[in-house]
Chains A and B, each alone.
Chain A
Amino acid sequence: AQKVTQAQTEISVVEKEDVTLDCVYETRDTTYYLFWYKQPPSGELVFLIRRNSFDEQNEISGRYSWNFQKSTSSFNFTITASQVVDSAVYFCALIAIKAAGNKLTFGGGTRVLVKP
């Protein structure tokens, strides 16, 4: 079985503050992929990043950065210098190929509210 846990249901920050979203996953597979999706108030699901289980390099894309640590089964996401446009629900997700085929399992999501 595969499982994704996002313990933070909602985070509220003031613009320009940094915010870190936690994601913990469970799988017995050695080959898996981790994702982050953004769901803005308009409702669509927007892909942000994918990581495979063999690549633990952290990644930075503009104000976004991701910290993947297999030792703690975590794939955390940081928004630096947050902006009002970052207000959205963010989902962490997992595909474990052998255990679950092509099923993308989502965490419960973390709602980020950035106040001006």
Chain B
Amino acid sequence: DAGVIQSPRHEVTEMGQEVTLRCKPISGHDYLFWYRQTMMRGLELLIYFNNNVPIDDSGMPEDRFSAKMPNASFSTLKIQPSEPRDSAVYFCASRKQASGANVLTFGAGSRLTVL
């Protein structure tokens, strides 16, 4: 089992640029979550999907952020245009409902720095 795969692991960009973060969940998992970690706000849920459908995006900071899940094996989180305050580590996580365990498996994270 390869686990949750995120790319890129590190991204440095300039303010105003578009940023796309990618996630491949564990095969067979039907829930996918995007979290953001900052020193000020800790770990916060941005959005989650069930069977590729966005269920709750109330944590998405503003319209500059968007997330998609075109199929069961791929999701993207896009920031356009990026701002320095978006600098954070973005985690993707997945879980399998049928297991009943409610345990999220996290990817290694994508560290974003916006200059």
Contacts and interface: CB of A to CB of B under 8 A. Distances in A.
A50 B93 CA distance: 16
Interface stretch (A14-22, A79-87, A102-110): A102-110
A22 to B, nearest CB: 16
Interface in B85-115: 89, 91, 93, 101-109, 111
Given A44-B109, A102-B48, A102-B50, A33 B42 contact: no
Contacts of A91: 43
A101 interface: yes
Contacts of A102: 31, 33, 48, 50, 55-56, 102
A7 interface: no
Interface in B55-72: 55-56
B108 A104 contact: no
Nearest to B41: A108
Contacts of A46: 106
Contact of B106 (A44, A50, A105, A109): A44
Interface of B: 31, 33, 42-43, 45, 48, 50, 55-56, 89, 91, 93, 101-109, 111
Interface of A: 33, 35, 37, 43-47, 50, 91, 95, 101-109
